[in-house]
A and B are shown apart, each in its own frame.
Chain A
Amino acid sequence: ELKVEQNPLFLSMQEGKNYTIYCNYSTTSDRLYWYRQDPGKSLESLFVLLSNGAVKQEGRLMASLDTKARLSTLHITAAVHDLSATYFCAVDQFYFGTGTSLTVIP
């Protein structure tokens, strides 16, 4: 059974600070996805990582994939309030982590 674990589950950070969300998974895979969900809304795709060493960046967010360690990270640089949301990683398209609820405090 494929297990996908995210940590932390909850993250409260000050504006301007940096932080990293971790996504560990239990089986071999080179397909890793990151999504964002705003409260009461649906999910939207952020990043698609399809190979070992893949790195994608969009604004203050950067995602990377290490397939040998079965680990993906979502790094937040100089957080702003607009980044407050829940972030999910997903493996092999269909299998999601429990999510990380991020709150950025002014």
Chain B
Amino acid sequence: NAGVTQTPKFQVLKTGQSMTLQCAQDMNHEYMSWYRQDPGMGLRLIHYSVGAGITDQGEVPNGYNVSRSTTEDFPLRLLSAAPSQTSVYFCASSYGPEGGGEKLFFGSGTQLSVL
């Protein structure tokens, strides 16, 4: 099993550009989520999904879109990049409530810089 696969690992964008961060998991997890990590801020939830076709906003959703057309994939779209979106982004997945614990499995992260 590959676990949670995130691409790309590094990305530099210019202000106003759009891009998609890819996230895929092969563990048949129901739940998937996106976070950004900024110094001194911990991890903040951007969007999450509790199953294919179901998404919801987290703490800091503005400027980001998500969709969940399959159980495996949960891409994060930056619509019009801004310097404030410079951050490290993590995707995570987990079993649902019946899975017993719901601990998160994380991808390796994407370092994004917006100039």
- On A, residues with C-beta under 8 Å from B are 4, 6, 9, 31, 33, 35, 41-45, 48, 50, 88, 90, 93-99
In the complex, the answer to whether B90 meets A96 with C-beta atoms within 8 Å is: no
In the complex, the answer to whether A48 meets B103 with C-beta atoms within 8 Å is: yes
In the complex, the answer to whether A95 meets B45 with C-beta atoms within 8 Å is: yes
In the complex, the answer to whether B43 meets A33 with C-beta atoms within 8 Å is: no
CB distance from B81 to the nearest CB of A (A): 23
Given A42-B106, A42-B108, A42-B109, are A96 and B43 also a contact pair (CB < 8 Å)?
A: yes
In the complex, the answer to whether B101 meets A50 with C-beta atoms within 8 Å is: yes
In the complex, the answer to whether B48 meets A97 with C-beta atoms within 8 Å is: no
In the complex, the answer to whether A93 meets B104 with C-beta atoms within 8 Å is: yes
Say which size band chain B's interface belongs to. 20 to 34
CB distance from B93 to the nearest CB of A (A): 11
Q: Is the contact region of chain A dominated by helix, strand, or loop, or is it mixed?
A: strand
Give the CA-CA distance A6 to B40 in the complex, in Å.
Answer: 11
Give the CA-CA distance A98 to B43 in the complex, in Å.
Answer: 7
Asked if B107 CB lies within 8 Å of chain A CBs, one says yes
Q: Which residues of B contact A98 (CB under 8 A)?
A: 40-42
Q: Which residues of B contact A50 (CB under 8 A)?
A: 101
In the complex, the answer to whether A43 meets B104 with C-beta atoms within 8 Å is: yes
Give the CA-CA distance A49 to B108 in the complex, in Å.
Answer: 24
